[in-house]
Copies of this chain bind each other. A is one copy, B any other.
C-alpha cells in the first residue's frame, strides 16, 4: 500500500470513528425499546400518562414511568402535574425533544419500506 492510500484509509477511519461517537451519543439517550416510541407518541401532541401507554403496544406502567423520567433528565420531555384526584399529569416535548422529529421521520420511512420488503413479502 502506498503512502497516499494509507493516509486516505487513516482519514476514513478517523471520520468513521467521529461519526460513531455522535451516533453513540444519540443512542445513549434513546436506548432501550421504549424511548423512541414515546417520542413518536409525543410528537403527535401533548399527552397524559395513560394516553401514551394506550398508544404504545406492550409497554408496562413501570417501563413507561422509568423511561419518561430518563427523557425528562435528558431534557427531551417535560412534565406538568396538577394535584387533583385522580392525578392529572401532562407530558410534552421540549424544543430539544422536538428536534428529534427528523430522526423519527426517517425511522418511519425506513420502517415502512422494510416492512414491505422483509416482513410483508
Q: Determine the main DSSP class of A at the interface with B.
A: helix
Copies per complex of this chain: 2
Asked if B20 and A41 sit within 8 Å, CB to CB, the answer is yes
Asked if B40 and A108 sit within 8 Å, CB to CB, the answer is no
Q: How far is the CA of A100 from the CA of B20 in the complex (A)?
A: 15
Chain B residue contacts of A110, Cβ below 8 A: 26, 99-100, 102-103
Asked if B22 and A108 sit within 8 Å, CB to CB, the answer is yes
Choose from B26, B45, B115 the contact partner of A111 (Cβ within 8 Å).
B26
Q: How far is the CA of A57 from the CA of B75 in the complex (A)?
A: 26
Q: How far is the CA of A102 from the CA of B56 in the complex (A)?
A: 25
Asked if A104 and B23 sit within 8 Å, CB to CB, the answer is yes
Choose from B19, B31, B40 the contact partner of A16 (Cβ within 8 Å).
B40
Asked if B112 and A106 sit within 8 Å, CB to CB, the answer is no
Choose from B23, B55, B106 the contact partner of A40 (Cβ within 8 Å).
B23
Whose C-beta in chain B lies nearest to the C-beta of A29? B114
Asked if B22 and A115 sit within 8 Å, CB to CB, the answer is yes
Name A's B-contacting residues (CB within 8 A): 12-13, 15-17, 19-27, 29, 31, 33, 36-37, 40-41, 44-45, 55-57, 74-75, 96, 99-100, 102-104, 106-115, 117-119
